[in-house]
Amino acid sequence: MTELSETQFHRYARHLILDQVGEEGQEKLLASRVLIVGAGGLGSPLLLYLAAAGVGTLGIVDDDTVDLSNLQRQIVHPSGAVGALKVDSAQATVAQINPDVIVERHALRLDGKNVRELVGSYDLVADGSDNFDTRYLLNDTCYAVGRTLIGAALSPFDGQLSTFKAYLGPPHPCYRCLFRDPPPPDTVPRCETAGILGAVAGVMGTLQATEVLKELLGIGESLSGTLLMYDALRASFHKIKIPRDPDCPTCGTH
């Protein structure tokens, strides 16, 4: 790992004085590669905080363009970016926040042909997607390739978050241990039909960024085996234990 420059010592000073981070931890962050799937409501705070923290390489997967209706919650995109590719807009914002960070743009939709190579070229994956096909594809691929997956999801006033690293073996579960199969099509409304309080995406994306940093640094208590639930209207959090399913089609042992 490259030693910190004088400028970096000043930029990351509040990390360096933390016993759990320090110079070694900051160098580890600068050497890390994180793939962020989706540059939307969750991906926006993820990108902003991981860039500010000095995660050295951020891969962004998104094939969409910025729409005016995105700006209420997708804070990585400024008004002037409407019509631009989200990966381009996000890269420009990250460059303004931290020039230390390399952004690798992937203006595509993940599928069975490209997902394994993409996931395998990063140290960790953060799922900020808004569809079940992508969530299950990432879960199965991260298990096969041996990558930690940190996934979050949103509803109008609620959010959920967990870390999945079933490739380490029991007792760690995967996403399919929690939700065996995707729900039937059109039974879970998307935000364009159900709506969402924009700041809820900020809460969950920031929590997701915190879990990414914890996993990269190897500090704190992992959310593996735990689902964190947030209820904005009640201002409450609670946790649900997720057991590993021996009959899981992805990571089961039966």
Per-residue pLDDT reduced to its tens digit, 201-211: 999 999 999 99
Output the pLDDT for position 76: 98
Q: Give residue 102's pLDDT.
A: 98
Report if residue 3 sits inside a domain: no
Predicted model pTM = 0.95
In a domain, 101, yes or no: yes
Phi-psi region of 104 (alpha: psi -120 to 50; beta: other; left: phi over 0): beta
Give the DSSP letter string of 42-111: THHHHHHHHHHHT-SEEEEE---B--GGGGGT-TTS-GGGTTSBHHHHHHHHHHHH-TT-EEEEE-S---
Q: Would residue 159 count as lying in a domain?
A: yes
Which residue reads 């303004």 in tokens? 96
Question: Does residue 6 belong to any structural domain of this protein?
Answer: no
Structure tokens at 38: 């989706």
Amino acid present at 162: S
Residue 194 has pLDDT above 90, yes or no: no
pLDDT value at residue 187: 57
3-state secondary structure of 236: strand
Q: Token pair of 249, please?
A: 């089609």
Q: 16 in a domain, yes or no? A: no
**pLDDT given for residue 190 in this prediction:** 65
Q: What is the C-alpha separation between 27 and 179, in angstroms, rounded? A: 37
* pLDDT of amino acid 181: 82
So what's the pLDDT on residue 193? 73
Task: Establish if 225 belongs to a structural domain.
Answer: yes
CATH code assigned at 234: 3.40.50.720
Q: Per-residue pLDDT for 157 more than 60? A: yes
**CA 22 – CA 122 distance, rounded (Å):** 23
Q: Is 84 inside any structural domain?
A: yes
């649900």: which residue's tokens? 240
pLDDT for 84 equals 98
Is residue 15 assigned to a domain? no
In the annotation, is 251 catalytic? Answer: no
- Residue written as token pair 């008004």: 79
Quote the number of domains for the chain: 1
Q: Which of 142, 191, 248, 251 is catalytic?
A: 191
- Residue 186's pLDDT band, with cuts at 50, 70 and 90, is low
Mean of pLDDT values over 34-41: 98
Residue 219, domain extent? 21-241
